[in-house]
């Protein structure tokens, strides 16, 4: 073996040895629960990899704060931090929306994950996971949001009562909050006939529309298109009659200018019916 080859092998071994010695990266995969209303407080669990010795939970809005939860002292151990749990408080004036959260610990600042400040106009429902068939469908009200995790090879079912003349938008919010679900929604009538199905309306998030001609009951199934599931396949499913904006035309403007813009959407107050080709 030549001196050049020996020198190359020595450098190669040195580089690979250095790479193997790098510290782990703190990876925050989800926060449970992942939503809270303004003016409320909730205990959350930060889940991920390499989240040892966490000290702080940061948010991108100053009105969202977190404090460590402590385990009480015992005859053997003093009071100590309760693993990855924090008490999160949201000020009453924080606007509803999606914010970023990161944890700080032994391995530094983690990756960011979405945290939702929910609208007080919508009832918040936590799915217990037992609604995996039409017979066990979860009853939901109009203008509510259901939070849950999809199990592998399963669907989640929901039952909703509608009134004639309503325009109910049923929207999966998953990819937009860093879920792995590629969602599919299927709408059925009370006799089990499929009325509509959808996927990929907003990225990988699905949306179906229910417009009852008479009072009645309808069913909705939610699944991953490949029937994957688990803790990282979470969702928020919104049943809404609130105004919904699809797009604005023109889609851009010049700073300081005054222009006329047209808003296209559904359930818009004072709007006119428009056909788009």
Q: Is the peptide bond before 250 cis (omega within 30 degrees of 0)?
A: yes
Phi, psi torsion values for 159, nearest 5 degrees: -120, 130
Helices (H) and strands (E) in the chain — how many of each? Answer: 1, 21
pLDDT for res 7: 55
Vertex 36 angle, CA 30 and 38, to 5°: 145
- For residue 57 the two structure tokens come to 């939970």
- Name the stretches of the chain with pLDDT < 70: 1-21, 277
The predicted model scores a pTM of: 0.84
pLDDT for res 9: 54
- Homologous superfamily (CATH) of 27-117 is Immunoglobulins (2.60.40.10)
For residues 141 and 162, the answer to whether their CB atoms sit within 8 Å is no
CATH topology of domain 123-244: Jelly Rolls (2.60.120)
For residues 160 and 140, the answer to whether their CB atoms sit within 8 Å is yes
- For residue 189 the two structure tokens come to 């009538």
Using DSSP's 3-state secondary structure scheme, residue 124 falls into strand
pLDDT for res 68: 93
Domains of the chain by residue range: 27-117, 123-244
Instruction: Catalogue the long-range contacts made by 199-204 (C-beta closer than 8 Å, 24 or more residues apart).
Output: 199/225, 201/171, 202/171, 202/175, 202/176, 203/175, 203/176, 204/174, 204/175
CA distances 209 to 24, 125, 126, 254, Å, are 45, 20, 22, 34
pLDDT for res 273: 84
CA distances 91 to 61, 114, 239, 276, Å, are 10, 18, 26, 42
> Distance between CA 69 and CA 46 in Å, rounded?
12
**DSSP bridge pairs for 45:** 32, 85
Vertex 101 angle, CA 125 and 204, to 5°: 60
pLDDT in tens, 222-233: 999 999 999 899
Q: What is the end-to-end Cα distance of the chain in Å, rounded?
A: 72
């Amino acid at each position: 073996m030549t001196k050049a080859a020996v020198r190359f092998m020595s450098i190669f071994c040195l580089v690979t040895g250095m790479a193997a010695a790098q510290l782990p990266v703190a990876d925050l995969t989800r926060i449970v629960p992942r939503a809270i209303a303004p003016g409320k407080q909730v205990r959350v669990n930060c889940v991920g990899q390499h989240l040892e010795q966490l000290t702080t939970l940061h948010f991108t809005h100053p009105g969202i704060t977190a404090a460590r939860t402590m385990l009480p002292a015992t005859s053997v151990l003093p009071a100590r931090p309760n693993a990855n749990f924090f008490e999160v408080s949201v000020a009453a004036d924080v606007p509803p929306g999606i914010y970023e959260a990161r944890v700080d610990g032994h391995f530094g600042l983690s990756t960011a994950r979405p945290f939702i400040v929910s609208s007080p106009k919508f009832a918040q429902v936590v799915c217990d996971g037992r609604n995996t068939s039409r017979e066990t469908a979860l009853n939901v009200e109009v203008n509510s949001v259901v939070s849950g995790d999809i199990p592998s090879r399963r669907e989640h079912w929901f039952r909703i009562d509608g009134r004639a003349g309503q325009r109910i938008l049923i929207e999966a919010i998953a990819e937009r909050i860093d879920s792995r679900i590629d969602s599919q929604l299927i709408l059925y009538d009370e006799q089990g006939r499929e009325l509509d199905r959808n996927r990929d309306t907003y990225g990988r998030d699905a949306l179906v529309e229910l417009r009852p001609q008479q009072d009645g009951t309808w069913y909705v199934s939610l699944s991953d298109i490949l029937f994957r599931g688990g803790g990282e396949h979470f969702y928020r499913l919104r049943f809404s009659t609130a105004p919904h904006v699809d797009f604005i035309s023109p889609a851009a403007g010049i700073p300081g200018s005054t222009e006329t813009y047209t808003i296209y959407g559904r359930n818009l107050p004072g709007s006119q019916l428009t056909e788009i080709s």
